A and B are shown apart, each in its own frame.
Chain A
């Protein structure tokens, strides 16, 4: 059985200033909403955060920008957030932009014990300047090093009490790789069920990657509501 937290403050209490965190989600989908809010309340600072995006001004990781808790962001796209832009221009926030596929694979590699890999993404662009490239079969590739985190904060749909996880639709995104790449992984889930209630055939993230779970109500804010034209 895994640690099942009942308080979000307790679930993040072991996170210290200056740590490197991975935070799941793509846009606002599949983000651990309440764990992020608890980070804001607990006021951890100097955080390095690895996450595909940085939320919006008033939700998701954007909440941590309000009190300048993030020192450095490692992301593929951060264009949805005015406060982010302001802090980067003021030199208060460092940003490391990584092609999305490379970011996903760097995290996957980190969790899988692969220190680095070569990818064609970024060759011949500004991100390759001064970095190691190598030719394979007549084509040039860029070396990308793996990423790991002190703590990964992820969001799943269902967990059993052993920590096996199932994700819902496109809320899966970066969460499974981050579960494996965190020294400690805390999963915020919509529902906790008894061991044996999840079909082993349908588990996305095996329990070995998860150290703690907590159930939380999700607001699931929508960034771009788009509906069929009548």
Chain B
């Protein structure tokens, strides 16, 4: 995925965050959302390793080896931040205190199943905090490419990869569209610039309910 497309997805994902939200951003592309938070919002970001209130990356002088995020990157802490244990951190997560988690995805199914932690036959690195997060945060947003490198859908009738969580996803944001997981099925709510409704239908395996308020050229 080109950097421009990653930025485009990150900027669209930022619109999901509301002033005052406590948010957990997954490792990788989701972390980029933090670079695009609008100035009129106060967002408090949580890191699983025991930090509420992640600040910007440090300057070289500010680097503190005791202060990292869940991706093990050196970070800073904002004024008003707090440090705590991993047990406390996941009490926050499981206890439903995190408003939004934005995570990456390999596959999402029609019913909201998510696969994003292992590919059979490849070395398993571990799930980290993903299984706790998807079952704990109030709202789970998955950001990913709409299709694989070979052009195959990643939004499927059923996940083919081992699951991270069952029926956990609320919204999918891709380079092509925004799709909500609803009880009636997947609902297409936005189409990105450069794509048509037909493009989205053709590159998504499950049948889509098209929103009455579908927005074209949305981002």
* B185 contacts chain A at the CB level, 8 A cutoff: no
Nearest chain-A residue to B84 (Cβ)?
A: A172
Say how far B83's CB is from chain A's closest CB, in angstroms. Answer: 5
The yes or no answer to A26 lying at the interface (CB within 8 A) is yes
Interface of B, helix, strand, loop or mixed by DSSP? loop
User: Closest residue to B117 on the A side, CB-wise?
Assistant: A125
Assembly CA distance A88 to B117 (angstroms): 18
Q: How large is the interface on B (under 10, 10 to 19, 20 to 34, 35 or more residues)?
A: 35 or more
- Residues of B close to A95: CB separation below 8 A: 124
- Assess whether A169 is in contact with B165, with CB atoms less than 8 Å apart: no
Distance in angstroms between the alpha carbons of A99 and B167 in the assembled complex: 18
The answer to whether B63 has its CB under 8 Å from any CB of chain A is: yes
A-B pair count, CB < 8 Å, reads 170
Question: B51 — which chain A residues lie within 8 A by C-beta?
Answer: 169-170
Cβ-defined contact, B49 with A97, below 8 A: no
- State in angstroms the CA–CA spacing of A105 and B91 once bound together: 9
Closest to A120 in B: B135
**Residues of chain B contacted by A26 (CB below 8 angstroms):** 49-50, 68, 72, 86
| Cα separation A108 to B87 with both chains bound (whole Å) | 7
A9-17, A35-43, A193-201, A215-223 - the one binding chain B:
A215-223
Which chain A positions have C-beta within 8 A of B133?
A: 101
Is A126 in the interface zone, CB < 8 Å from B? Answer: yes
Is the C-beta of A210 less than 8 angstroms from some C-beta in chain B? no
Contact, CB under 8 Å: B59 / A124: no
In the complex, B89 has a CB within 8 A of chain A: yes
CB neighbors of A among B106-145 (8 A): 113, 118, 123-133, 135-136
B64 & A176 in contact (Cβ 8 Å cutoff): no
Given known A-B contacts A78-B126, A123-B135, A170-B51, A227 and B59 have beta carbons under 8 A apart: yes
Q: Are B64 and A124 in contact (CB under 8 A)?
A: no
Residues 84-116 of chain A, each 1 if its beta carbon lies under 8 Å from chain B, else 0: 010011000001010111111101100000000
Q: Is A100 in contact with B129, judged by CB distance below 8 angstroms? A: yes
Give complex CA distance A169, B58 in Å: 15
Interface-centre pick from A52, A102, A172 (highest chain B CB count, 10 A): A172
Q: Could you tell me if A172 and B83 are in contact, using CB atoms closer than 8 angstroms?
A: yes
Query: B56 contacts which of A224, A225, A228 (Cβ < 8 Å)?
Result: A228
Cα separation A124 to B162 with both chains bound (whole Å):
9
The answer to whether B50 touches A76, judged by C-beta atoms less than 8 angstroms apart, is no
Knowing A227-B58, A228-B58 are in contact, say whether A125-B74 is a contact too (CB < 8 A).
no
B192 at the interface (CB under 8 A from A): no
Q: In the complex, A176→B87 CA distance in Å?
A: 9
Q: How far is the CA of A107 from the CA of B47 in the complex (A)?
A: 19
Asked if residues B85 and A176 are in contact (CB atoms below 8 Å), the reply is: yes
Q: Identify which of B68, B71, B86, B166 contacts A125 (C-beta below 8 A).
A: B166
Whether, in the assembled complex, B57 has its beta carbon less than 8 Å from a beta carbon of chain A, the answer is: yes
Compute how far the CA of A177 lies from the CA of B89 in the bound complex, rounded to whole angstroms.
Answer: 12
Question: Is the pair B74, A226 in contact by a Cβ cutoff of 8 Å?
Answer: yes
Q: Evaluate whether A101 and B66 lie within 8 angstroms (CB atoms) in the complex, with A172-B85, A226-B73 already known.
A: no
Q: How far is the CA of A103 from the CA of B85 in the complex (A)?
A: 12
Q: Chain A's nearest CB lies how many Å from the CB of B34?
A: 12
Q: List 8 A-B contacts (CB under 8 A).
A: A27-B72, A100-B48, A100-B127, A101-B86, A101-B132, A125-B131, A170-B51, A174-B86
Footprint of A on B, CB under 8 Å? 47-51, 56-60, 63-68, 71-75, 77, 83-87, 89-90, 93-94, 113, 118, 123-133, 135-136, 162-167
Given A79-B123, A170-B67, A177-B87, 19 more A-B residue pairs with CB atoms under 8 Å apart are A26-B86, A29-B68, A85-B123, A100-B127, A101-B132, A104-B86, A120-B136, A123-B166, A124-B166, A169-B64, A169-B66, A170-B50, A170-B83, A172-B84, A173-B50, A224-B73, A226-B73, A227-B58, A228-B56
